[in-house]
Structure 1
Amino acid sequence: MGMMSMRLPDELSEQLSALADATGRSKSFLAGQAIRDFIERESWQISEITQAVREADAGDFASDAEVSEISAKWQTHAG
């Protein structure tokens, strides 16, 4: 298991301590979970963006008719 040290602003450190006390978890566990969640979310976004760039590079765009259909749908449901 890797080890890392980091500096946190006092307010964030206090919030982390309070959350650790309230949940019965260690600050390290909570920080690790937060980093894990962040990495999963960011990795998903990067994957989606990479796929969209590949599609764009291949010329795979929505047709004018598809865009008009979606636009009409949103305008109908908007209000």
Structure 2
Amino acid sequence: MTTLSIIVPAYNEKHTIGEILSKIERVDFAAFGASAEIIIIDDASQDGTRELLQKLPAQPHVSVLYHKHNRG
């Protein structure tokens, strides 16, 4: 089975990141013969996005990376 890597760049997305992840989770990747891994990259958000992401329940197919400084 093919694994799709879905990259989600995030900067100050506190109010939208939950909806974004929910929409990705609703996609039936198996219907396409694939599974998915989600990689969220927080680009030094200042609005609480980082804190929200840190509270997400651990899931084996979701990884979160944090930049110390905004890289644009």
For the aligned pair, the TM-score class normalised by the smaller chain equals under 0.3
Select the structure that is richer in helix: 1
Q: TM-score, normalized by length of structure 1? A: 0.22
Please say which structure displays the higher CA radius of gyration. 1
Higher relative contact order (CA 8 A, sep 6+): 2
Select the structure that is richer in strand: 2
